């Protein structure tokens, strides 16, 4: 595929340090395609070396896409086989491609060692350190992790003199527990430090130091989806981009993260990074994704970013089908309509994998997922983080591993006040606080007692006899059991020698099954099945760790240090190995669908939802659709006639012209020739088929270890 004139203008924009190029790229304009060709052009014309290019994005999804397609792009542009396969691979692997948080994490770990990024279980553990009186003083009836996060954020921004929150901040600092914003701040501080080059090392050798490479080596910084940047990221972006050529790709119409802070402020600040005459703006006004009918509907919501000085933008031909808009008041009727439409589409030329269902909320998506399950329609949820990492049971297992590793190598760390602190404290607090019967008061009292003695919480509960504990601690037998169980495993030291994933999972599941952890008391077969699936995913990530683990680290250490990154690698490999077949229907929030496209998109709101959808979110949802867009119960003042009643829909199954257009657009070839008779036959077959579903599991031993005493009877 050749570049359009608009893409060519971006490609040939010259490299020059201390300049900014902003590329306003509308939906389906070939933004990623242009970005990849820009990287190739910089290297091929020898303006820049491969290892002098840094590509950043905010999501793993966007990074995965760039990594997936970068090598393919270089292969396609390898004229006359100038480079061998191995040479191309070496060139591509030198280009730095990271999420902003992934880059920050690598900097911080390099400079400080392993840190904890706080998750749901961590917030709940911290809640146990706060008394009910504190929440009453704030007029807060129900304490929750989200409320604590907001109070912590407010404290850091305003430097309030709140002793309780100050205490929480101190615990987090002492135990190296970071929020995502903390991670960015710490990485920025390290990037501001001067790093000395060892005597005898060349500058190139010193770039083995990742932080120094960020400071000195890179000359071009490309940021994908710049409209997603928020103020907390600004310091690290400015530090990384200073003195380099900064190239920003994005679409301000798709700015939908305003709750994190105003993107407009970030863009204005980046515009001031270089002198005004060194700032340039180019436009990608082509559209290879959406049909003109969908674009016409989207522009009723927001006008396209457009350069009126150029009229050479490329658009698709019309499909003849306008967006399908419905208002269905009954919730069950809405879900039944969805199933019927999916069956009709799958009976025509569409695969299940062509179809995406988008909504604003995860709760609505879960309702849809439950209904699709009843009919056995295959689906998968798309999310910014894999489901297995969001499972509180998996988080508990990982926290147990952290207790074992940190307590085994326990050593005091001096904080700025010259007081000994302990890395293991946070993981002990988190795991203890999740056990039944161990309340807020017990956690608070134990932590205070260990602090007064100048020892870690782990040493306190394992070395101080229970009769010497403060008398106000109830259910001390449960705490004593927790300490005995973990101490037995920790003393054996076996965790360090386990180099097989199944053995490590067996090991930690043996510990978990001896603790009174409520979420392991499964309330249904469905709940237990979900956990089985997530444990299998954890096993696969551990398996991946065995292939890239450094020789000087144990499997448990490497897993704890890299499981977030390994999840991304696994996802990348999984995409590459997906089979052809009919695939599965995609379910996603509108926010998580950003950057993706689907041949057919159902944009939905709950049947009884009266809250209107904002312009940017609606625009993003609509422009995910390539060929066919359904909008069901979308509340917006400009979603109305003339496309509320669409007569075309009734004839969609028999619309030969549209399905020929559809197959041609997706390059499906002769194997998808239209036939009304075949479509009607397929529709009847699907109606008969979808009545049950089955699921399978291959990881039995560890699941039995954890689940056996909790299985519903």
Report the residue count for the chain: 713
Residues 548 and 560: their CA atoms lie apart, in Å, by 14
Q: Which of 585, 578, 579 is nearest to 343 (CA)?
A: 585
Quote the CA–CA distance of 29 and 289 in Å, as a whole number.
7
**Is 231 annotated as belonging to a binding site?**
no
Q: What backbone torsions phi and psi does residue 111 show, to the nearest 5 degrees?
A: -90, -25
Torsion of CA 237, 240, 241, 247, to 10 degrees: -70
> Nearest 5°: CA angle at 292, between 287 and 295?
75
247: left (phi over 0), alpha (psi -120 to 50) or beta: beta
Distances from the Cα of 537 to the Cα of 179, 472, 665, 673, angstroms = 25, 42, 35, 39
- Peptide bond before residue 371 is cis, with ω within 30 degrees of 0: no
Question: Is there a binding annotation on residue 25?
Answer: yes
27 marked as binding residue: yes
Number of neighbours of residue 652 by Cβ within 10 angstroms: 17
The pair phi, psi for residue 693, each rounded to 5°, is -145, 155
In a 13 Å sphere around the CA of 609, the CA atoms on its Cβ side amount to 19
Beta strands in 574-664 (DSSP E): 585-589, 598-604, 625-632
Any binding-site annotation on 28?
Answer: yes
Structure tokens, 252 = 């301000």
Residue 687, burial from CB neighbour count under 10 angstroms (0-12, 13-18, 19+): middle
30 is in an annotated binding site: yes
**How far is it, in rounded angstroms, from Cα 445 to Cα 175?**
18
Compute the CA torsion angle 626, 631, 636, 642 (nearest 10 deg).
Answer: 90
Report d(CA 603, CA 358) in Å as an integer: 5
For residue 701, say whether it is annotated as part of any ligand binding site: no
Q: Is 610 helix (H, G, I), strand (E, B) or coil?
A: coil
Residues 492, 494: Cα–Cα separation, whole Å: 5
* Residues in CB range of 468: below 8 A, 6 or more apart: none
Region class of 628: left (phi > 0), else alpha (psi between -120 and 50), else beta:
beta
CA distance to 41, 453, 707, per residue, from 488 (Å): 60, 24, 21
Tokens 């669409």 correspond to 646
| CA–CA separation, 620 and 18 (whole Å) | 32
Q: Are 537 and 32 in contact (CB under 8 A)?
A: no
In angstroms, rounded to a whole number, what is the distance separating the alpha carbons of residues 272 and 261? Answer: 19
Q: Are 482 and 432 in contact (CB under 8 A)?
A: yes
559, 541 contact by CB (below 8 A): yes
Annotated binding-site residue numbers for ATP: 25-32
Annotated binding site: 25-32
């Amino acid at each position: 595929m050749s570049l359009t004139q608009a893409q060519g203008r971006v490609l040939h924009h010259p490299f020059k340090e201390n300049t900014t190029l902003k590329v306003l790229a509308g939906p389906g304009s070939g933004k990623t395609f242009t970005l990849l060709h820009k990287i190739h052009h910089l290297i091929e014309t020898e303006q820049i070396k491969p290892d002098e290019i840094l590509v950043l994005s905010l999501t793993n999804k966007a990074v995965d896409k760039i990594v997936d397609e970068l090598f393919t792009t270089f292969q396609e542009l390898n004229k006359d086989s100038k480079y061998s396969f191995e040479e191309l691979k070496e060139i591509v692997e030198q280009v730095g491609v990271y999420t902003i948080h992934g880059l920050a994490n690598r900097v911080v770990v390099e400079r400080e060692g392993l840190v904890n990024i706080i998750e749901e279980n961590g917030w709940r553990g911290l809640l146990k350190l706060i008394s009910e009186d504190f929440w009453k003083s704030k007029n807060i009836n129900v304490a929750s992790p989200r409320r604590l996060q907001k109070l912590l954020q407010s404290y850091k921004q305003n430097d309030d003199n709140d002793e309780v929150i100050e205490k929480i901040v101190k615990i987090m600092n002492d135990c190296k527990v970071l929020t995502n914003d903390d991670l960015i701040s710490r990485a920025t501080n390290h990037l501001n430090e001067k790093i000395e080059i060892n005597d005898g090392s060349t500058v190139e050798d010193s770039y083995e130091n990742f932080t120094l490479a960020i400071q000195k080596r890179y000359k071009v910084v490309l940021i994908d989806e710049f409209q997603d940047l928020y103020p907390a990221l600004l310091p690290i972006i400015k530090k990384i981009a200073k003195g380099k050529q900064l190239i920003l790709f994005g679409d301000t119409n798709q700015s939908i993260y305003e709750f994190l802070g105003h993107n407009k402020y970030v863009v204005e600040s980046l515009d001031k990074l270089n002198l005004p005459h060194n700032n340039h703006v180019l436009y990608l006004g082509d559209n290879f994704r959406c049909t003109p009918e969908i674009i016409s509907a989207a522009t009723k919501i927001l006008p396209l970013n457009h350069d009126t000085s150029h009229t050479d933008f490329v658009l698709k031909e019309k499909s003849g089908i306008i967006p399908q808009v419905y208002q269905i008041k009954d919730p069950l009727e809405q879900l039944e309509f969805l199933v019927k439409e999916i069956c009709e589409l799958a009976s025509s030329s569409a695969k299940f994998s062509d179809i995406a269902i988008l909504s604003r909320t995860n709760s609505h998506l879960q309702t849809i997922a439950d209904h699709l399950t009843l009919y056995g329609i295959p689906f998968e949820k798309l999310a910014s983080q894999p489901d297995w990492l969001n499972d509180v049971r998996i988080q508990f297992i990982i926290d147990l591993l952290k207790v074992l590793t940190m307590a085994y190598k326990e050593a005091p760390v001096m904080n700025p006040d010259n007081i000994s602190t302990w890395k293991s404290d946070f993981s002990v607090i988190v795991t203890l606080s999740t056990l039944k019967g161990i309340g807020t008061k017990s956690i608070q009292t134990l932590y205070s007692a260990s602090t007064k003695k100048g020892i870690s919480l782990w040493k306190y509960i394992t070395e101080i006899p229970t009769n010497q504990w403060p008398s106000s601690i109830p259910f001390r037998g449960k705490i004593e059991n927790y300490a005995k169980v973990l101490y037995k495993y920790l003393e054996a030291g076996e965790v360090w020698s386990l180099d097989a994933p199944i053995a490590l999972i067996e090991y930690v599941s043996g510990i978990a099954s001896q603790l009174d952890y409520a979420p392991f008391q499964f309330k249904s077969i469905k709940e237990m099945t979900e956990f089985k699936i997530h444990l299998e995913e954890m096993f696969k990530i551990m398996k991946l760790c065995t292939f890239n683990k450094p020789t000087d680290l144990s499997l448990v250490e490497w897993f704890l240090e890299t499981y977030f990154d390994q999840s991304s690698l696994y996802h990348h490999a999984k995409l590459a190995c997906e089979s052809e077949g009919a695939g599965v229907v995609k379910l996603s929030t509108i926010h998580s669908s950003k950057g993706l496209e689907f041949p057919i998109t159902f944009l939905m709101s709950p049947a009884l939802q009266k809250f209107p959808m904002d312009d940017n979110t609606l625009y993003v949802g609509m422009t995910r659709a390539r060929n066919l867009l359904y909008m069901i119960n979308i509340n917006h003042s400009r979603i109305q006639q003339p496309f509320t009643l669409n007569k075309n829909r009734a004839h969609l199954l028999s619309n030969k012209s549209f399905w020929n257009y559809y197959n041609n657009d997706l390059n499906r070839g002769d194997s998808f020739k239209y036939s009304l008779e075949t479509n009607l036959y397929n529709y009847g077959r699907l109606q008969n088929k979808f009545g049950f579903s089955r699921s399978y599991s291959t990881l039995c031993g560890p699941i039995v270890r954890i689940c056996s005493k909790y299985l519903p009877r």
